[in-house]
A and B are shown apart, each in its own frame.
Chain A
Amino acid sequence: MDKLHFDEHISKQFNADLEDLKTQLLEMGGVVEQQTIDAVKAITSADSELAEKVIVVENDVDQREVRLDEQCTLVLARRQPAASDLRMVLSVVKITRDLERMGDEAQKIARMAIKLSEDSGASQGYVELRHIGALVQEMVNNTLDAFARFDVDMALKVAKQDTTVDQEYKSAMREMITYMMEDPRSITRVMNIIWALRALERIGDHARNIAEHVIYLVKGLDVRHTTVSEMEQQLAER
């Protein structure tokens, strides 16, 4: 039972409510995705103006979270959804939360971008930032895609990408430590890069969480706190 039909309720209003949740969530996702892209760009090109924009947008993301939560509450109270409808509403509540956290992390990166742009130092760590930034941006894009199309394969791909990001993050950390040991004067600067890398890695984790919510939404399967191979196995058993 993979096909989800959210437009076939006897109540057209219910169709509209669920469709609206989906649209608004994707809109919120779009804002957060852009925030992530801008944050990485701001830090790697020392663009403090763009960084400010990322910080300002956070307010909008918070508002969207509150609005979506409110709408989900209303749907629960009015419709007492069951089965896939229930999973849809629950997933939206959870995904909204992850998106909001991703926005917070993007904001952290933007703050680091401003700090880094204030002093002119060597551009150590920018390669790692760009590299991991690109990987995470793709994850965010893919995970929103997975939700938009209810695509379990895509969700699984995101989980795999998260494993890659975690590995890249670890090796980037080793690089950063090397930089700091080579030149203790760079410690303050590199620490800021580390915070930004950490925030990116967290955005990746949230993208993976969203992918897990998509799997729950489509398959009714709770794959949180499992490894990618366990996930694959559980999905294969379905």
Chain B
Amino acid sequence: MIEQTFSGVTVGKPLVDNAKMSMRDVNVFYGDKQAIFGVDLDIGENEVVAMIGPSGCGKSTFLRCLNRMNDTIDICRVEGSLQLEGQNIYDPKLDVVPLRARVGMVFQKPNPFPKSIYDNVAYGPRIHGLVSRRSELDEIVETSLQKAGLWNEVKDRLHAPGTGLSGGQQQRLCIARTIAVSPEVILMDEPCSALDPIATAKIEELIAELSQNYTIAIVTHSMQQAARVSSRTAYFHLGKLIEVNDTEKVFTNPDHELTEAYITGRFG
């Protein structure tokens, strides 16, 4: 049987030199129940970090801390230090709206607004006051859709409803909506779990392209996806961060037995 248990110290290299986001000793509670235990993790500039682990291990909870999505849950309490370029993102004086523009999020199920394709993408720049002229907005919509690899498919029907697109297209529309406000970090919570293999391949391709300009943290249940898209992989287990290592290492020769047990489908 797997004998090794977690010693309380994350093995591998959770910290990097060029950190875009730095999290230290993060503890998260839902009421009395602790969901995350003392997590230290850096996400490097223009890096793709994959977070994997069994259901309920806290990976999504942790991801949602990174742009204060957990604020919407009353009983949720986040402790520890979470910084975006040295700035404490849990500073009570900090406005979460611009924070969420800097740290965007893509969800599991594509959730376009019940508006046109154009308006879905234009929504962010409008409410954040990023544009003053219509022509500027047109340009943002076009480049965002291009970056999301959707432009050619929708350029002739920009005013059709976003909800009329296929699942994969909707997800790319949501990515376009996210990048329209020029975020620095993109959080993705199982972005492909509702998509077919072709749509998944397109999103993965997109992640590779986006990583040249954005910092990306992705939670995924697909180990192969983590192996394909990320440069570092973090393994969570029962709310603890067990191991963070170069993805190549994690999938060929992980340091921790719990990681090994999970990625190879053994009883842990």
Stretch at the interface among A3-11, A171-179, A194-202: A3-11
Whether a CB of chain B sits under 8 angstroms from the CB of A121 is no
The 8 Å CB contact of B252, one of A8, A9, A10, A220, is A220
Instruction: Tell me the residues in window 39-95 of chain A with beta carbons closer than 8 Å to chain B beta carbons.
Output: 80-87
Whether a CB of chain B sits under 8 angstroms from the CB of A1 is yes
Whether a CB of chain A sits under 8 angstroms from the CB of B254 is yes
Contacts of B252 in A (CB 8 A): 82-83, 86-87, 220
Could you say which interface size class chain B belongs to?
A: 20 to 34
CB atoms of B267 and A10 under 8 A apart: yes
Whether a CB of chain A sits under 8 angstroms from the CB of B204 is no
Whether a CB of chain B sits under 8 angstroms from the CB of A14 is yes
User: Known contacts A83-B251, A83-B252: does B265 contact A14 (CB below 8 Å)?
Assistant: yes
User: Known contacts A83-B253, A87-B252: does B266 contact A9 (CB below 8 Å)?
Assistant: yes
The 8 Å CB contact of A83, one of B2, B224, B254, is B254
Q: Tally the A-B contacts, defined by beta carbons under 8 Å.
A: 51
User: How far apart sit A81 and B251, CA to CA, in the bound complex (Å)?
Assistant: 9
User: Known contacts A82-B264, A85-B264: does B253 contact A8 (CB below 8 Å)?
Assistant: no
User: How far apart sit A219 and B264, CA to CA, in the bound complex (Å)?
Assistant: 16
Number of chain A residues close to chain B: CB under 8 A: 17
Interface centre among A8, A82, A85, A219 (most CB of B within 10 A): A82
User: Known contacts A10-B267, A85-B264: does B224 contact A5 (CB below 8 Å)?
Assistant: no
Residue of A nearest to B267 (CB): A8
Contacts of A8 in B (CB 8 A): 1-2, 261, 266-267
CB atoms of B224 and A80 under 8 A apart: yes
Contacts of A220 in B (CB 8 A): 252-253
User: How far apart sit A5 and B1, CA to CA, in the bound complex (Å)?
Assistant: 8
Whether a CB of chain A sits under 8 angstroms from the CB of B79 is no
CB atoms of B263 and A83 under 8 A apart: yes
User: How far apart sit A11 and B2, CA to CA, in the bound complex (Å)?
Assistant: 16
Interface centre among A9, A83, A84, A86 (most CB of B within 10 A): A83
User: Known contacts A80-B224, A82-B223, A82-B227: does B266 contact A5 (CB below 8 Å)?
Assistant: yes
Whether a CB of chain A sits under 8 angstroms from the CB of B246 is no
Instruction: Tell me the residues in window 254-268 of chain B with beta carbons closer than 8 Å to chain A beta carbons.
Output: 254-257, 259-261, 263-267
CB atoms of A10 and B253 under 8 A apart: no
Residue of B nearest to A10 (CB): B265
CB distance from A88 to the nearest CB of B (A): 10
User: Known contacts A1-B255, A8-B2, A220-B252: does B265 contact A83 (CB below 8 Å)?
Assistant: no
User: How far apart sit A220 and B5, CA to CA, in the bound complex (Å)?
Assistant: 21
CB atoms of B264 and A9 under 8 A apart: yes
Residue of B nearest to A5 (CB): B266
Instruction: Tell me the residues in window 206-238 of chain A with beta carbons closer than 8 Å to chain B beta carbons.
Output: 219-220
CB distance from A81 to the nearest CB of B (A): 7
Contacts of B256 in A (CB 8 A): 1
Instruction: Tell me the residues in window 216-268 of chain B with beta carbons closer than 8 Å to chain A beta carbons.
Output: 223-224, 227, 250-257, 259-261, 263-267
CB distance from B1 to the nearest CB of A (A): 7
User: How far apart sit A104 and B261, CA to CA, in the bound complex (Å)?
Assistant: 39
Q: Would you give the 0/1 interface string for A1-44, flagging 1 where the beta carbon is closer than 8 Å to chain B? A: 10001001111001000000000000000000000000000000
User: How far apart sit A5 and B227, CA to CA, in the bound complex (Å)?
Assistant: 22
Interface centre among A5, A10, A14, A220 (most CB of B within 10 A): A5
Interface residues of A (CB under 8 A from B): 1, 5, 8-11, 14, 80-87, 219-220
12 contacts between A and B (CB under 8 A): A1-B255, A1-B257, A5-B2, A5-B266, A8-B2, A80-B223, A80-B224, A82-B251, A83-B251, A83-B253, A83-B264, A87-B253
9 further A-B contacts with Cβ under 8 Å, apart from A1-B255, A220-B252, are A1-B254, A10-B266, A82-B227, A83-B251, A83-B252, A83-B253, A83-B259, A83-B264, A86-B252
Interface residues of B (CB under 8 A from A): 1-2, 4, 223-224, 227, 250-257, 259-261, 263-267
